[in-house]
Amino acid sequence: MKVKYENVSFNYSSTAALKNISCEFDSGKTILVAGHNGSGKSTFLKLMNGILKPTEGRVILGEIATDGKRTSELARLCALSFQNPDDQLFAQSVKKELRFGIDNIGGGDGLYDSIVDTLHLGGQLQSNPYALVYAMRRLVVIGATAAMGTPILALDEPTAGLSIREKEYLGNLISFLKARGTTVVIVTHDLNFMLPYSDDMLLLSHGGVQFSGGRDEFFTRSDARDLMKRSGIGYPMYARISSALDLEKAAFDADEIAEWARKKRAGVTQRTNGQHQLEGA
């Protein structure tokens, strides 16, 4: 489902969190939202699932503007997993937590099984969510949110507190949802991990849009580094490596860069493996 923000502003009592922002993302895209602490990312997501309504402007999901709609109606369009997982857990067991979305909003049993498999939650179904370690609690909340089967899924800092193993599970879930046609909107500081999964990017700074559009388009811009800097984000590692290597376009993970290097090696010389070592100093 398409997502569109039209001249949206949002004020908390004392703070203007978003200032006249406009952006648009096509159905089925995976969108990364990045920006410095306090730039308005969480506010942006809360406006999408209708917990917050714009002070000015309109948020439109598909053809439906969120203002005037009830939160319960909007919950069928956009599910949100919060930045703090402990704000969201409520059930006595992981299974109940995950079934809630399936039973009340209706993702279907097939979706339930896929989520349990993808996130490797099968061994934990009877556990009390509060007895799990932090990373597992976050996975449970993400799983429960995805289980609602909404056309739009919003994730606030989904990798925070995850180790490499759970990040891998999360990555697989995102790929799975993308294949189902879900529009996935991810607020993240972890661009190194998330960029390979994304189509589009939204960069926020002080409540305003620095960039909104395609990921690949972004990285061809000559001011890409500048824009990221202004949003409080370091230039992602793999993009740095790509530009240091003069790759034609930015790569987003180790596989891409390794593939490039292997091809180059095969083409240029016949050197053997193991000849080169990355020494300690």
Question: Considering the rule CB under 8 A, would residue 270 count as an interface residue with other proteins?
Answer: no
Quick check: 203 and 228 in contact, CB under 8 A?
yes
Q: Which of 56, 165, 181, 249 binds other proteins (CB under 8 A)?
A: 165
Q: Which of 40, 54, 85, 236 binds ligand ATP (CB under 6 A)?
A: 40
Of 9-17, 24-32, 126-134, 141-149, which part binds ligand ATP (CB under 6 A)? Answer: 9-17
Site for other proteins in 169-208 (CB under 8 A): 189, 191-192
Draw the binding track, 205-244, toward other proteins (x: CB under 8 A; -: no contact).
------------------------x--xxx--xx--x--x
Question: Measured from the CB of residue 224, what is the shortest distance to Mg ion in angstroms?
Answer: 23
Draw the binding track, 83-102, toward other proteins (x: CB under 8 A; -: no contact).
xx-xx---------------
Q: Which is nearer to other proteins, 65 or 260 (CB)?
A: 260
Draw the binding track, 163-202, toward Mg ion (x: CB under 5 A; -: no contact).
----------------------------------------
Question: Considering the rule CB under 8 A, would residue 265 count as an interface residue with other proteins?
Answer: yes
Structural tokens at position 212? 């909104």
Q: Which of 42, 159, 192, 205 binds Mg ion (CB under 5 A)?
A: 42
Site for ligand ATP in 52-91 (CB under 6 A): 83
Q: Where are the beta strands (DSSP E) in the chain?
A: 3-11, 16-25, 30-35, 56-61, 64-65, 78-81, 152-156, 183-187, 200-205, 208-214
* DSSP codes, 210-246: EEEEEHHHHHHSTTHHHHHHHTT-PPPHHHHHHHHTT
Structural tokens at position 55? 């002070």
Cα 199-25-225 angle, rounded to 5 deg: 55
- Reduce the DSSP state of residue 9 to 3 states and report it: strand
Q: Which of 20, 28, 38, 225 binds other proteins (CB under 8 A)?
A: 38
Quick check: 126 and 95 in contact, CB under 8 A?
yes
Give the whole-angstrom CA distance, residue 67 versus residue 126: 39
DSSP conformational letter for 252? -
